[in-house]
Amino acid sequence: MNEIEQLSPEQLINTIFEPLSEQDKSLPSRITQYILQGDELDVLVEFDKLCQISDIAYKLHECMCRPCRLYSLLTSVKIEITEQARIEFYRRWTGTFSSEQIIRFARVFATLCDRLSVVEVSSEKLPTWFIYLLYDGLITTLPCYCENEDKIEGRENWSIHQLHQLLEIEQKGLGENLLFAIFDRQNINVYSHSHFQYFIMVNDLLPYIQEHITLFKQLPTQGLAKLGQVDQLNFIQKHMELQLQLVDFIAMQALNSSKQVSQLATEILLNLPLELVQPQLQDLLTSGSVKERSNAAVLLARIITDPVILQQALASETNKTVIAAIESALSRLETANVVKQQTELVIPDFEPLCDTPLPITARDVLQQNFQEFLIECEKKRKKR
């Protein structure tokens, strides 16, 4: 057991905030008292006044080793003791600290990070302290993500239900927005996107989503960022049980205006059983918007062989754009069927011809013809 692991809860929290003593020697102990006991409520007000001065806010963030940044501190050559203490805090988690203490801990970070332009929140549907808590606990204090990982080492005590409870303590009903914290990627660029993979590895996320399947399906229509929609589909792709539950949702996402989202959804859709996918696309073909009807026709042409469905839709369609899309889909389907028929042709095995010797009379005829040919060639040569 190393030195950090032997620290008491009070010593651990004090170690995390000890760098603030450079600005005010009383801050670490008062913040520790606030987090553990709920006392010293005015310390947040005083800390916020300090952080309102931009230079001081950035200096404090730097001396605390940049908490809540979207990169791993474990890539540093040396890990400071305050960083080691934060890693230990997230490892102990609810095994040592109450939900209320964790919330107060996160509020201190939010007081600082809310004043920094270098730290952007990934969703506006949750309090910033919660977002920063996930940033620091699931990005900053963890190793860089590797694709072959199936669990988060050092976060065994974390679960999605604990995170839900934290939000409910903050405000009853706020837990319904938890899936935005897990999947939303507002203000996140493609370079930072990969750092969020630990978010979707939190224990019990799959059963939680199944319990809240309606909320999960509503995320894109409620403002989930495009990168978040990609992560949502990637998660669905990893779990067949979700794919089977969400055929209608995947079909809608296959018609998404984002090329990246629609391509991934289409890939998932085309690997599902035809009897599940076809009814969803038929429904969109007849009752969707103009764009949905057009795209549904294109997708149907990729999965069916019988043109009757498209022909019936064409007979009742009145919109010119959709008519053109259906006609194009029918043409593509006809071509695909012809190609399929050609690939299914039965070609008989090769049978070599029998070698039949020529009769003597035939040889004489050939020899005579050859002699006549030589004579003609000789005449042409002399004329030159």
Distance CA 104, CA 98 (A): 10
What is the rounded (10 degree) CA torsion for 93, 97, 99, 100?
-140
Q: Is the dihedral of CA 59, 60, 65, 69 positive or negative?
A: negative
Say if residue 29 is exposed, middle or buried (CB neighbours under 10 Å; 0-12, 13-18, 19+): middle
Judge whether 253 and 204 are in contact, CB under 8 Å. no
Alpha helices in 152-289 (DSSP H): 160-170, 178-183, 190-193, 205-211, 213-218, 226-238, 240-245, 247-253, 259-269, 274-287
Q: Mark 333-366 as b/e (b = at least 16 C-beta within 10 Å).
A: beeeeeeeeeeeeeeeeeeeeeeeeeeeeeeeee
> Distances in Å between the alpha carbon of 54 and those of 49, 86, 112?
10, 24, 10
Tokens 């008062």 -> residue: 30
Task: Give the helix/strand (H/E) hosting 334.
Answer: helix 320-343
Q: Splitting the chain (384 residues) into consecutive groups of 10 residues, what average pLDDT does each group show? A: 89 97 94 94 94 94 94 84 96 96 97 93 96 96 80 92 97 97 94 91 97 97 96 96 95 93 95 92 90 90 87 91 91 81 68 74 80 83 74
Judge whether 258 and 224 are in contact, CB under 8 Å. no
Tokens 């019936």 -> residue: 312
User: Residue 258: left if φ>0, alpha if ψ -120 to 50, beta else—which one?
Assistant: beta
pLDDT of residue 81: 95
Q: Which two tokens stand for residue 260?
A: 């990246």
pLDDT of residue 148: 64
Residue 371: count other Cβ atoms within 10 Å of its Cβ. 10
Q: Tell me the Cα Rg of the chain.
A: 35
Distance CA 219, CA 206 (A): 16
Q: Would you say how long the chain is, in residues? A: 384
pLDDT of residue 343: 66
Distance CA 271, CA 130 (A): 37
Residue 22: count other Cβ atoms within 10 Å of its Cβ. 12
